[in-house]
Chains A and B, each alone.
Chain A
Amino acid sequence: MPESVYLPPDDIVPDESSVLKAQKLPVDTTEDSVRQRFHWLYTSACAQFVRYARPRGLIAGITHESFSQVFNGEGLNETPNPLSDIFPKAEQIALFAVTLGQEVSIAITDLFNSNDFALGYMLDAVCSEAAERTADAIQNYYAHVLVRTKAYNYPPHIVRYSPGFCGWHISGQKKIFEYLLPQEIGITLNQNYLMQPLKSISGVLVVGKPEIHQFAAAYPFCATCTHRSCRERMRVGWASAHR
């Protein structure tokens, strides 16, 4: 049975450095001038975020067998792909979906429509980072559920994967939606497997020893990947449990 989780927007506001880095601004310098130039925009965007965002998530445990059907989806995954080898070694698996809600997406559009482009762009960047933080929070929540239900004595190592990345075709969203029913928290899927509201993430949480998640980014699809977030996700694992 999927479990809903509601999060206060204040808990999800991303830090300034990650938001500016996401916009490819050079903040990793000893000079603070770049950060100072945009601090007012960042704080304005965060105020808008806290006002309009409604972070929420849905999570449900799933058996290996059922996940195999979800993962194989419409039969369009790249072969080989890392998750095919990883999930059979998982100790626990859960499907998840998170969203920041429609209101904040409307706020971004309204800012662009009123020519407040810089603030709209900054709010979009804040929301993209915040969506990841919301997924981190759901991952952390799942870790603590596993401890609370005595499946583990301490928060386990968890890495998440989403359709559209690492060889898992984006059409994988369809089976996730059939199993998890994220419509319950206001997320819908269009015929091109695009989630609405836009600032939504879905996927799978894979619990297991860190070594099961290790793979070399040498698959054919890695050559065109612009995210490379797999490296950080492997390294961090259950870091959200440390927060």
Chain B
Amino acid sequence: MELLHTIAQQLEQGDDEQVAALTRQAIEEGLPAKQILDDGLIAGMAIVGNLFKKHQIFLPEVLLAAKAMCAGMELLKPLLIRDAIPTLGKVVIGTVQGDIHDIGKNLVAIMLKGAGFDIIDLGKDVPPQRFVDTAVREQAQVIAMSALLTTTMPVMKQVIDLIQITQPPKPIRTIVGGAPVSPEFAREIGADAYGYDAAHAVDVVKSIIAKGSPLRGG
């Protein structure tokens, strides 16, 4: 479909005004919301993601594309809700309690949204109970945690332990990241996965939802 291909191209270029205009046009022409999402917006972000992994474009360009995606999603979201279109999965994300660094966490949230996940961003300085309560209430599959201080990293384990204690009705997997966090630390605290940057986090979240991994609770 030429129009959807053009949406993807304009998204790659980071032209949010064009993406919004073309998305509106696609809706008015009666194209299904899911098709516009999959073949227009997500398709465009997938190309952007691949170019980024190959170092042919850089993070600011990815973020411009993400802004364009948001412009399209703003128009599509009511239709997707109306049609009960499922997302790739639901992720609760936040910076752990005591920490207010959020740039890295924001980048992960942006990239996950661009990949088609439903994101509940709890912000920064998030207590362990709030991570778990939100994930259970929203039936999220993943809790993603960020910490930029060695003094706040232990809170990640508190969240993981709380999931075990809570025994949610559906399994909740965990991914951790942040400058002082390492794969070894992630293993040590029982996290399901570790993400070393935003792009890697997207691949990892897709993987742990699709393939499954040692589960926490449920």
Contacts and interface: CB of A to CB of B under 8 A. Distances in A.
A169 B103 CA distance: 23
Contacts of A117: 63-64, 66-67, 106-107, 110
Interface in B97-124: 98-103, 106-107, 110
Contact of B67 (A24, A25, A108, A118): A118
Interface string A119-130: 011101000000
Interface stretch (A60-68, A134-142, A151-159, A188-196): A188-196
Contacts of A192: 98-99, 149, 151-152
Contact of B64 (A118, A170, A194): A118
Interface string B1-34: 0000000000000100000000000000000000
Given A115-B67, A170-B150, A191-B98, A37 B61 contact: yes
Interface residues of B, number: 26
Nearest to B57: A37
B88 interface: no
A191 B100 CA distance: 12
A7 interface: no
A226 B102 CA distance: 18
Interface of B: 14, 58-61, 63-64, 66-67, 70-71, 98-103, 106-107, 110, 149-152, 179, 182
Given A37-B60, A41-B60, A193-B149, 11 more contacts: A25-B60, A108-B103, A115-B70, A116-B67, A120-B106, A121-B63, A171-B151, A190-B98, A192-B151, A194-B151, A224-B182
Nearest 6 A/B pairs, CB to CB: A118-B63, A192-B98, A117-B63, A192-B151, A115-B70, A118-B64
